[in-house]
Amino acid sequence: MFFYDLKTRLSVENKFIIETVDLKKTYKGKLHPTLNGLNLRIPYGSLFGLLAPNGAGKTTAINVICGLRKYDSGKVFIEGYDLSRDLKAIKPLLGLVPQDIALYPTLTAYENLKIFGGLYGIEKPLLEKRIDQLLELFDLSASRNSYINRFSGGMKRRVNMVAGMLHAPGILILDEPTVGVDAQSRMMILEKLIEINRAGTTILFISHYLEEAEHICTEVAFMDNGTIICQGHPGDLIDAHKPCGSLESIYLKLTGKRMRDTQ
Amino acid sequence: MKKFRYLLYKDYLLLRRDVAGLMLMFLMPSVLVILMTLLQQSTFHAITDASVPLLLVNNDQGELGRTIDKELGSSGIFRVDRQINGKTLSLEELEKEVASSRYTLGIYIPENTTIGIQRNVARYVLAAFSGEEVLPLLDSVGFTIFVDPTAKASFYTAIMSTLKERTQKIEFEYILKEISRQVKEISPIPISTEGISGQQVYIDIRDARLKGKNMIPTPVQHNVPAWSLFAVFFIVISLSGSIIRERQDGSFFRLLTMPCSYTDYLLSKAIVFTVVALIQFALIFLIGVFICPLLGLDSLHLGSSPFALVVLTFSSAVAAIGYGVAIGNIADTYHQSSVFGAISIVIMAAIGGVWIPTYIMSEPMKKIGMFSPMRWGLSGFMEVFLQDAGLKAVLPESGMMLLFGIVCFAIAVTFNYRRRLDV
């Protein structure tokens, strides 16, 4: 299995691969909640864009979904599993590609991938095969034995993505995957995401580049003040918010033009 | 278990690529242990060899002057000069010589000192035999000692004690001779004081040890375990740095999204660094056993209980690694952990007797030193190396270090849980 087996999963009754119900979270010492009744529903097989200004709570939402932060109240379901009870079963279903390059700079690309794949419990022969396939897919085969600290920004981003996909996760969560890369690398990353999604993997795509989301996402949600304020297909949203001609115009209309500096 | 092997593999690779960290962990202590031992060895020789320069001006032509001269010369402690450029010095000239630090000690024995003492003793004895209750009028008798003001107080005290002892012995012998002479005059029975000595009480001073082993502490015996402990605790810099770097570069974040627990993550680091600590101990002990003799130093005696040594070494490693893990979790940045880690280790070493043996520390410092894990470890190693102690004897020290390590681990896990999950 190269990518996630969507057909088998679609036989499951639940139609959302990720579903949060009235999720709330207030950090210690903060007066206002960061997640304020978040109801996020991500359908199976979608390439879902989560778009939000700084400080809207999207990083907290991702951390909660990945089991990295506790939440105060509400429910989180991943493929029907309840996060509060089944974190162990949920972890292998998720593939996280963080915004920071979460790789060991003094190890080679192959060593990094071997370690991360091994920690998912992938058998050695299959792991070797997947590493080869994914490095090939992202045009990194020639650099497999080079150290990460000698890679360009774009190459690091691509290895970072491969590391999150080794175990063929049901949902791939990408936090700003194209930030700080050149146009060629950006184009390649977006093309591969579409390819991976078409092969069956649900993708949660978080980005500040709204034209990217408009171009590749099958569904987007705008988030602000810890809650979803608008969700739908990009084309449908543009139609519904005339005269706004783009997601960016809708985004600014809904979230305002006030700067959102956060600490 | 298979997943855990990958964590071990990761920590092994990260360590292997950290060349600076490896140098710090292996090269630094190896060099330190050799250098410090050589330095202390030369100091040891300077003190024990006949090298304290002493200028003696003996103007007394009697027995006291001759005896002091003879005893100082044969004591093995002093290099005695009696003249400078063939000239016997005056009191003022002698003081100048010592004040200029050319001599550590200057002794001036004035003329007729022996006659003066003999006269005073005779007056005492005469007064005692005549039954007079009033003390006789005595001549002022004595000699002057100049001490280099830069000499340490302990050295000064030791020299004074020695000289007082020598003069009292001579005085005692005169008293005995004079009493004997007076008694001979009034008693028809011949008496002899030959063979009567002032040293009736015999003090047996020995190095405390078990099973009668002939082992005395040397710079090698002190420095090798002391610097081994210091080196093992210096792992804290690499270990805490490794934890912080993983947190900062995001790889730790990624690991947490994988099916591996935080305990597994810490355990893997602890195992890899424990192996490093054990190799460090082995390396430095081997230097003590094989390299030190090649440099003219003594060979390290490893005691007679390998089991006690292994337990002590292992518990020292656990204490050091627990401390490193705690710092790695509490500190926010690599800078914080390296500065705090290094300073705290140096303080632990200083109060724990790594640089200066605890037996020459003041009482308050000795008490403060009891809080240093390095003190516990060093105390245990001293028992094993110097007293050939077994496992039972080092259990308290090993237990303390294991407990320290476990408490540090618990602090690290709790701190990480609260910070990461925001609970």
Taken in order of first residue, the domains within chain A and their CATH numbers are: 16-255 (3.40.50.300)
Residues B86 and B37 in one domain: no
Chain B contacts of A94, Cβ < 8 Å? 257
Residue B237 included in any domain: yes
> How many residue contacts between A and B have a Cβ separation below 8 Å?
86
- Indicate whether B3 belongs to any domain: no
Q: What is the mean pLDDT of chain A?
A: 88
Chain A residues near residue B421 by CB distance under 8 angstroms: 68-70
- pLDDT (0 to 100) of residue B2: 80
B17 touching chain A per CB within 8 A: yes
In a domain, B141, yes or no: yes
Q: What is the pLDDT of residue A4?
A: 60
Strand partners of residue A227: A224
Given this model, what pLDDT does residue B212 score?
Answer: 43
Which of B138, B163, B186 is where one domain is finished?
Answer: B186
**Does the beta-carbon distance from A118 to B17 stay under 8 Å?**
no
Where residue B57 sits, what CATH number does that domain have? 3.40.190.10
Per-residue model confidence as pLDDT tens for chain A (263 residues)? 456 655 555 444 568 899 999 999 999 888 889 999 999 999 999 999 999 888 888 889 999 999 888 899 999 999 989 999 999 899 999 999 988 889 999 999 999 999 999 999 899 999 999 999 999 999 999 999 999 999 998 899 999 999 999 999 999 999 988 888 888 888 999 999 999 999 989 999 998 888 888 889 999 999 988 999 889 998 898 888 888 778 888 888 877 766 665 55
Contact A101/B at CB under 8 A: yes
**CB of A124 within 8 Å of any CB in chain B?**
no
* pLDDT-above-70 percentage for chain A: 92
Enumerate residue ranges in chain B where pLDDT < 50: 50, 207-208, 210-215
Backbone dihedral angles phi then psi of residue B67, each to the nearest 5 degrees: -65, -45
Position B196 in a domain: no
Q: Which of residues 14-33 of A touch B (CB under 8 A)?
A: 27-28
Task: Determine how many CB atoms are found less than 10 A away from the CB of residue B24.
Answer: 16
Per the structure, how many domains does chain B have?
A: 2
- Closest residue by Cα to residue A223 from A34, A78, A46: A34
Residue B75 belongs to some domain of the structure: yes
Q: CB B422 to CB A28 under 8 A?
A: yes
Q: Which of A70, A91, A98 sits opposite B250 (nearest CB)?
A: A98
Residue B207 domain flag:
no
| Chain B residues close to A121, C-beta within 8 Å | 2-3, 259
Q: Which of B257, B260, B423 sits opposite A66 (nearest CB)?
A: B257
CB atoms within 10 A of CB B354: 28
Query: Which of B251, B253, B420 is facing A104, going by the closest CB pair?
Result: B251
B18 in contact with A, Cβ within 8 Å? yes
Same structural domain for residues B311 and B360?
A: yes
Judged by a CB distance cut-off of 8 A, whether residue A88 touches chain B is yes
Residues contacting A128, CB < 8 A, separation 6+: none
Q: What is the pLDDT of residue B201?
A: 57
Interface check for A68 against chain B (CB to CB < 8 A): the answer is yes
Instruction: State the smallest CA–CA distance between residue B234 and chain A in angstroms.
Output: 22
Tens digit of pLDDT for each residue in A122-136? 999 999 999 999 999
B264 interface with A at CB cutoff 8 Å: no
pLDDT of residue B138: 76
pLDDT value at position B80?
Answer: 86
> Does B182 share its domain with B235?
no
The reply to whether B56 and B41 lie within a common domain is no
**Chain A residues with beta carbon closer than 8 angstroms to that of B255:** 119
Closest residue in B to A26 (Cα) is: B422
Q: Are residues B240 and B368 in the same domain?
A: yes
Residue B13 at interface with chain A, using a CB cutoff of 8 Å = yes
Q: Which chain A residue has its CA at the smallest distance from B250's CA?
A: A102
Together in a domain, B38 and B59: no
Name the B residues in 208-247 with CB < 8 Å from any A CB: 246
Query: Which residue in chain A has the smallest CA separation from B264?
Result: A119
The Cα B116–Cα B114 span in angstroms is 5
**Structural domain contains residue B362:** yes
Domain shared by B224 and B93, yes or no: no
Verify that B286 and B409 share a domain, yes or no.
Answer: yes
Give the Å distances, CA to CA, from A125 to A128, A161, A167, B422. 5, 21, 13, 39
Contact B258 A119 (CB under 8 A): yes
- Say yes or no for a CB contact (<8 Å) between A118 and B9: yes
A27 with B422: Cβ contact below 8 A: yes
**A86 to chain B: nearest residue by CA?**
B259
Query: Any chain A CB within 8 A of the CB of B6?
Result: yes
B273 and B410 together in one domain: yes
For position B168, what pLDDT does the model report? 77
Q: ipTM for the complex?
A: 0.85
Cβ pair A119:B250 closer than 8 A: no
Tell me, yes or no, whether B142 and B78 share the same domain.
Answer: yes
Scan residues 309-368 of B and list those with Cβ closer than 8 Å to A.
none
Instruction: Output the 3-class SS for chain B.
Output: CHHHHHHHHHHHHHHHHCHHHHHHHHHHHHHHHHHHHHHHHHHHHHHHCCCEEEEEEECCCCHHHHHHHHHHHHCCCEEEECCECCECCCHHHHHHHHHCCCCCEEEEECCCHHHHHHHHHHHHHHHHHHCCCCCCCCCCCCCEEEECCCCCHHHHHHHHHHHHHHHHHHHHHHHHHHHHHHHHHHCCCCCCCCCCCCCCCCCCCCCCCCCCCCCCCCHHHHHHHHHHHHHHHCHHHHHHHHHHHHHHCCHHHHHHCCCCCHHHHHHHHHHHHHHHHHHHHHHHHHHHHHHHHHCCCCCCCCCCCHHHHHHHHHHHHHHHHHHHHHHHHHCCCHHHHHHHHHHHHHHHHHHHCCCCCHHHCCHHHHHHHCCCHHHHHHHHHHHHHHHCCCHHHHHHHHHHHHHHHHHHHHHHHHHHHHHHHCC
- Give me the domain span that covers residue B80: 50-186
Same domain flag for B325 and B271: yes
B224 and B140 share one domain: no
Of B2, B10, B17, the CB nearest to A115: B10
Q: Within a domain: residue B2? A: no
Contact status of B129 with chain A (Cβ, < 8 Å):
no
